[in-house]
């Protein structure tokens, strides 16, 4: 069984990290079921294990936290749905690459419910939206905007951290970092793309698509 937890008010990052780690320990000890935690954060930046100092372009803008997850700098804030995914990969093949692909597939399937084509790109973590409506890059390449970030950590094969999807955040808040170290492309959101999607709409789509991507673990050992 997977518990779904929804926090109605923004959760401070240190509090969220402490609660995630406590839940992971409980899963490892057999005291708790797997969980997906849906929440928002106050405006902040997190630095993953690959973060480069030069990609924090405005260090005084928001508080910066060391996340110890994979990836580089990421923004979190109101209007962005964060889904922290605490799943036991021992039940799921212990394949980290396959797990990341499942997370990507989950986001893409969820976006498809809103008639959006999310795509992944070699060498660029996250999920992207092609923007032929914007001027092409100098190379002639179609410009693309990131709509979702992915970064995980494992403790004895139990995952934590997870994904974030932009519903209606203040996109100017991303200006204080180079999101995930990528300078040539931008950032977008569901509302920025003209879709009047609410957080509840997105949550429902995430739940509908979860089992089809990750499977029903109720019958697993």
- Element at 82 (helix H, strand E): strand 80-86
- Please state whether beta strands 158-166 and 124-130 pair in parallel, antiparallel, or not at all (unpaired): unpaired
Binding residues: 69-76, 149-151, 162-164
Binding-site annotation: residue ranges for substrate: 69-76, 149-151, 162-164
Rounded CA-CA distance 182/109 in Å is 24
Q: Is 183 helix (H, G, I), strand (E, B) or coil?
A: coil
80 forms bridges with which residues in the sheet?
Answer: 166
Bridge partners (DSSP) of residue 130 are 144
**Over the Cα atoms of the chain, what is R_g?**
17
Secondary structure class of 152 (helix, strand, coil): strand
For the annotated catalytic residues, the residue numbers are: 180
């Amino acid at each position: 069984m997977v518990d779904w937890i929804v926090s109605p008010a923004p959760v401070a990052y240190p509090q969220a990290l402490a609660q995630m780690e406590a839940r992971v320990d409980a899963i490892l000890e057999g005291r708790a079921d797997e969980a997906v935690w849906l929440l928002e954060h106050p405006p902040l930046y997190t630095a993953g294990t690959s973060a480069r100092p030069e990609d924090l372009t405005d260090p005084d803008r928001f508080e910066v936290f060391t996340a110890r997850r994979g990836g580089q700098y990421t923004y979190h804030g109101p209007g962005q749905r964060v889904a922290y995914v605490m799943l036991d990969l021992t039940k799921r093949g212990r394949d980290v690459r396959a797990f990341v692909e499942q997370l990507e597939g989950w986001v893409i399937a969820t976006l498809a419910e809103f008639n959006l084509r999310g795509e992944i790109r070699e060498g660029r973590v996250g999920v992207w939206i092609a923007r032929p409506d914007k001027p092409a890059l100098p190379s002639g390449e179609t410009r693309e905007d990131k709509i979702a970030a992915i970064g995980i950590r494992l403790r004895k094969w139990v995952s934590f951290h997870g994904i974030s999807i932009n519903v209606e955040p203040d996109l100017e808040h991303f200006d204080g970092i180079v999101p995930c170290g990528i300078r040539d492309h931008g950032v977008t959101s569901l509302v920025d793309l003209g879709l009047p999607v609410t957080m509840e709409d997105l949550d429902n789509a995430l739940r509908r698509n979860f089992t089809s991507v990750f499977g029903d673990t109720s019958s697993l050992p």
